[in-house]
């Protein structure tokens, strides 16, 4: 993913209208998940994207500083391990094929911290899932995908990212407009 453009002082060159805060899988899980996403994207003509769980998304205000928000939100956090509850499908483009994940007290707390730290808190509802494919699928593809994937039992996460996003994601071009704004590591101890 490309970084959001910055000016000569390192500040964001333009102000995105929306930001998403993502939980990123640990290095032990990342390659396997990225491979699944890339293979499904190639097979079903979808975009490639980084494996992630959206913790919080909302408006991005002029006073919002993604680096400071990530640092403040992660201050009392630790690595998080989420159980995989199953493979699911949906007619929503961004949830066409996804791993439904169990919740974790630390994840709920992190979501609420991002809401409190946002200059424009929104009504984002946490739904822990990790998308594997963004595409418009017919029902016949569901069984085909389910037969080819071996699901992990759980996924460890140890990073959070701030990503500028368009207002809605309806297609590949919208996904390609995502820009990385800032990253922060969670503490190395997973709980």
Give the DSSP letter string of the chain: -PBPPB-TTSSBSS--SEEEEEEEE-TTTHHHHHHHHHHHHHHHTPPP----EEEEEEE--TT--HHHHHHHHHTT--BEEEEEEEEEE-SSGGGSEEEEE---HHHHHHHHHHHHH-SS--------EEEEE-S---HHHHHHHHHH----SEEEEEEEEEEEE-S---SHHHHHT-EEEEEEEPPS-B-
- Percentage of residues in the chain with pLDDT exceeding 70? 88
| pTM metric for this prediction | 0.89
Supply the CATH classification number for the domain 29-185: 3.90.1140.10
Q: What is the mean pLDDT of residues 114-143?
A: 92
The answer, yes or no, to whether residue 97 has pLDDT greater than 50, is yes
Domains of the chain by residue range: 29-185
pLDDT over threshold 80, residue 130? yes
Residue 72 has pLDDT above 60, yes or no: yes
In this structure, of 17-26, 36-45, 69-78, 139-148, the range with the lowest mean pLDDT score is: 69-78
């Amino acid at each position: 993913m490309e970084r959001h453009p910055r000016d000569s002082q390192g500040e964001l060159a333009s102000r995105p209208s929306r930001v998403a805060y993502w939980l990123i899988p640990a290095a032990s899980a990342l390659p396997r998940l990225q491979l699944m996403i890339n293979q499904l994207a190639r097979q079903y003509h979808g975009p490639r994207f980084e494996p992630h769980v959206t913790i919080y998304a909302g408006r991005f205000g002029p006073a919002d500083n993604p680096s400071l928000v990530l640092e403040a939100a992660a201050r009392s956090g630790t690595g998080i391990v989420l159980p995989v509850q199953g493979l699911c499908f949906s007619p929503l483009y961004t949830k066409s094929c996804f791993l439904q994940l169990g919740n974790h007290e630390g994840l709920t707390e992190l979501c609420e911290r991002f809401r409190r730290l946002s200059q424009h808190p929104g009504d984002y509802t946490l739904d822990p899932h990790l998308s594997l494919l963004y595409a418009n699928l017919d029902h016949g593809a569901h069984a085909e995908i389910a037969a080819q994937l071996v699901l992990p039992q759980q996924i460890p996460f140890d990073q959070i990212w701030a990503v500028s996003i368009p207002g809605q994601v309806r297609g590949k071009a919208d996904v390609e407009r995502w820009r990385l704004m800032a990253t922060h590591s969670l503490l190395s101890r997973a709980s």
